[in-house]
Copies of this chain bind each other. A is one copy, B any other.
Amino acid sequence: MNIGEAAKLTGLSDKTLRYYESIGLVSAKRSSNGYRLYTDKQIDELHFLASARQTGFTLDECKALLALLRDTNRHSRDVKAFVTDKLMKLDSQIAALSKMKQSLEQLSSRCNDNDDSQCAIIEGLSSNTLCSKEENNE
């Protein structure tokens, strides 16, 4: 099938499919007029990629996962190890964002929220307490 239909089936855009080909993920054969021709197996692979991307894997990680998908001699142990590693990365991302959130909430709670120019948020960001040291418990 042509790229348009492949895009519809997989939920990826045609641009994305061309991009994936350009980085060597899924390369379609061409018909005589130069149009890309996707096989059913490639559609499956693209589905797989879409799922993996949605689940938070980077394209580099997707490349590795795709290699595992294609390797019928893979061991589920290796796949699991890969995912366990990714889970740790996700955890640290979540922790970083949570820390930011906490800092912001703390600053925000001290802001008077009125017409005054004086503002605890501005002051908090201006002081170096955020970057240089732990917050002192109040």
Across the interface, A76 reaches (CB within 8 A) one of B74, B113, B130, namely: B113
Which range holds the interface residue count of chain A?
35 or more
A95 to chain B, nearest CB (A): 10
Q: Say yes or no: A111 contacts B51, CB within 8 Å.
A: no
Q: Say yes or no: A56 contacts B126, CB within 8 Å.
A: no
- Cα A117 to Cα B82 in complex, Å, equals 14
Q: Which residues of A contact B (CB under 8 A)?
A: 11, 44, 47-48, 50-52, 54-56, 65, 68-69, 71-77, 79-80, 83-84, 86-87, 90-91, 93-94, 97-98, 100-101, 103-105, 107-108, 111-122, 124-128, 130-131
A-B CB contact pairs (8 Å), 8 listed: A51-B127, A51-B128, A75-B115, A76-B121, A80-B119, A83-B108, A90-B100, A94-B101
Additional A-B contacts beyond A80-B113, A80-B121, A94-B98 (18; CB < 8 A): A47-B128, A55-B103, A56-B100, A65-B125, A69-B126, A73-B117, A74-B122, A76-B112, A76-B115, A76-B121, A77-B115, A79-B119, A79-B122, A83-B111, A86-B104, A87-B104, A90-B100, A97-B97
